Structure 1
Amino acid sequence: MSSSVDVHQIQTVSAADALAWHQVVAASMTHDLPGVPAPDPGQIHAQLTRPALGSHRLTWLATGADGTPAGVAGLRVFTSPGQEHLAELDLHVDPAHRRLGAGSLLLSAVVEACRTENRRSLVATAAADGPGEAFSERWGFRRALTLDHLLLRLVGSDETDRSDLLRIADAEHPGYRLTGWTGTVPDTLAAAFAAAKNAMNDMPVGDLDYGSVAWDADRVRAMAAVVADRGDTLLTVAAVHDDGTMAGYTEILIPQGAAPRVQQYDTAVVPEHRGHGLGLWVKAAMVRRLRAEYPGVIEIETDNADDNVHMLAVNHRLGFRSYRRTREFQLDVSAT
């Protein structure tokens, strides 16, 4: 096979570009992450053409001598106050085209773009002990955080005990009530939800220089709009105190097409309301809601920093089981 690789930046993502991107990502994930479902072509197209909240995206495609897609790189450039130093990399190389320079050429283009965008920190995720980790370390990325990925089976022989979950979800928490919504938070709860969102800023992030974000009602509405615009569904269950404060919440993302595996988004309990079992309560109530409203959902995937002892304990109590690990890496762009 020829070692000739061409890398070009995609200015406007076409349907053909999205299909090429999907081809590379599916091959890469099948090889490196067996058992982890790859996004379908529609999800890839939405990811590439619908900007994430508080950022803009740059994309590159590497092709072989015959024009075959060999690798892809996406760069999310954060623009929110508190994260203007940061960019996040998503890089995949088709296993059939590895060790021919595609990954290095893509990363060189990304690093140069980070300098142009005046971003000092580039973060990337790779499967623990996999080829992506070795590649990152060769390029001078430092290991900043290890994440434990867990699955909760909702149906099948190893599903979590229904009666136990119902007991947790139905437990009384004097002074608190449960509420929930789909998509955008109701206006009456928007300010309280934004205040609770800020509790995520003390989430354990190891040595990762991820910055922090200040949430307000407009930002939580904008986040929900971004999710809806790409065809996904966002579910939220929250615990509200008698004084109107939102004490805690949990979010689940259902990918477009009602995929059998859904993703945990944020779960947080406001510091002054911790110690009352609210995190366990809202997550159990979310599982009950999923079973009632989305019977086609089979699994929930979540991840926690390996030093987030409290949330790991909550998830294990609910029946989540560890099944893989990833690592977050960070590159000091100014030092390269």
Structure 2
Amino acid sequence: MPYKIHIAPVFWMPAERAAAWHAVVAASIGHDLPGEPPPTPKQVHARLTTAGPDGRRLFWLATEDDGAVVGVAGLRLLTEPGRDHLAELELHVHPARRRRGVGGHLLATAVFAAQVERRRGLLTSAVADGPGAAFCGARGFRRRLTLHHLLLDVARADGSAADAGRPGYELTAWTGAVPDHLAEALAAARNAVRDGPPGEADDERRTWDADRVRTMAKALADGGDTLLTVAALAKERPIANGLAGYTELVIRAGETRRALQYDTAVVPAHRGRGLGSWLKAAMVRRLRAEHPGVTEIESVNAENNARMLAVNRRLGFRPCHRTHEYRLDVTP
């Protein structure tokens, strides 16, 4: 008998649907990345119910005749200027129900929705050499770049770079939204770093201003996440153009063990002075002091970003796994 599934849009996300979504995601990640902690139910619920910045979200469930959820898909329709022709795809199928057409039906549904919304490209990611990578390769996705996922044991990290200052620079730090007097400087620093990650297309990059920086921090806070930032200021320049670099960590809602490395960047005019290592070592010191229960940091670096990979190796990061990022061109 042919395997029957039903694809249905989700217009609201009560607790039981969020729990079913989490069960599929946890099973999928547990199968494809054994030993890696899946997102907690609280993290999944926050992602499904919290409106993020610069995007609208669409959701679908794949169910069997008895209502059992066997696959999920989400589409984030980007709305920020310069990226409003793109959508980000998340798709998971329960390992026990793979190779039965569930993923293909969910993808076709998401592609149709993207076309209706006049999107020209779908972005997604998959574990390198895993089932998701094979799925993308068989369906016309183009691989854009390879990302290395690295783990740092906070207790064993080499934080010695934090001991020595950097002549002409000073450190500052904050939690959550950037202080108002630094908002424009942080946006300018983000925009100045236009050379990464290598492989990213120009039409997929963000343009930052002070409002967008604040909106990103608010979205994290609304989802229950904690954002930590350490920044380097150039003493001889006014604040408006003197933020030389920064590093960010996020502790997700309900997380008890792992922090996620978000951006680490040094403005090109300030490179070659060891600021990247200084910033990251200072962040490790801060994490130990303020969040002693967090014992590891996960960082994701583009394969050909040799500069940041070297910084992370010196700090003590070790390889964990790799993922590929893909783009599927679609015709509106």
Distance 1:292 1:95 in 2: 40
Q: Which amino acid aligns with 2:307?
A: H
Local SS of the residue matching 2:47: helix
Counterpart position of 2:300: 303
1:121-140 → structure 2 map (5 Å cutoff): 121-140=121-140
On the 8 A contact 2:143/2:326 being kept in 1, the answer is yes
CA deviations 1:87-143 (Å, max 9, x no partner) are: 111100001111121111100000001101111111110000000001111111111
Counterpart position of 2:314: 317
Distance 1:213 1:169 in 2: 31
1:331 alignment partner, one of 312, 318, 328: 328
Distance 1:199 1:235 in 2: 21
Distance 2:115 2:230 in 1: 41
Q: Residue 253 in 1 paired to residue 246 in 2?
A: no
Root mean square deviation of aligned Cα: 1.4
Distance 1:208 1:170 in 2: 38
CA deviations 1:235-254 (Å, max 9, x no partner) are: 00000011121000000000
Counterpart position of 1:62: 62
On the 8 A contact 1:5/1:100 being kept in 2, the answer is no
Local SS of the residue matching 1:143: strand
1:140-219 → structure 2 map (5 Å cutoff): 140-155=140-155, 159-161=156-158, 165=159, 167-206=160-199, 208=201, 211-219=204-212
Offset, 1:9: 0.7
Offset, 1:41: 1.1
Offset, 1:61: 0.5
Task: Give the alignment's TM-score, normalised by structure 1.
Answer: 0.94
1:225-236 → structure 2 map (5 Å cutoff): 225-236=218-229
Offset, 1:208: 4.6
On the 8 A contact 2:87/2:114 being kept in 1, the answer is yes
Unaligned segments of structure 1, at least 5 residues? none
Q: Which amino acid aligns with 1:262?
A: A
Go from structure 1 to structure 2 and tell me whether the alpha carbon gap of 1:21 and 1:209 turns closer, same or farther (over 3 Å shift): farther
Distance 1:266 1:199 in 2: 13
Distance 1:317 1:86 in 2: 36
Go from structure 1 to structure 2 and tell me whether the alpha carbon gap of 1:75 and 1:35 turns closer, same or farther (over 3 Å shift): same
Distance 2:202 2:165 in 1: 39
On the 8 A contact 2:43/2:254 being kept in 1, the answer is no
Distance 2:2 2:318 in 1: 44
Distance 1:200 1:267 in 2: 10
On the 8 A contact 1:71/1:93 being kept in 2, the answer is yes
Offset, 1:263: 0.3
CA deviations 1:176-206 (Å, max 9, x no partner) are: 1000000011111111111112134321341
Counterpart position of 2:230: 237
Q: Which amino acid aligns with 2:28?
A: S
Counterpart position of 2:284: 287
Offset, 1:66: 1.7
Go from structure 1 to structure 2 and tell me whether the alpha carbon gap of 1:317 and 1:33 turns closer, same or farther (over 3 Å shift): same
Q: Which amino acid aligns with 1:153?
A: D
Distance 2:68 2:214 in 1: 41
Distance 1:193 1:168 in 2: 23
CA deviations 1:278-300 (Å, max 9, x no partner) are: 11111110000000110000110
1:110-121 → structure 2 map (5 Å cutoff): 110-121=110-121
Distance 1:201 1:296 in 2: 35
Counterpart position of 1:23: 23
Counterpart position of 2:35: 35
Counterpart position of 1:270: 267
What count of residue pairs does the alignment treat as equivalent? 328
Q: Which amino acid aligns with 1:305?
A: A
Local SS of the residue matching 2:46: helix
On the 8 A contact 2:40/2:254 being kept in 1, the answer is no
On the 8 A contact 2:193/2:268 being kept in 1, the answer is no
Go from structure 1 to structure 2 and tell me whether the alpha carbon gap of 1:104 and 1:209 turns closer, same or farther (over 3 Å shift): farther
Distance 1:210 1:168 in 2: 36
Local SS of the residue matching 1:83: coil
Offset, 1:210: 5.3
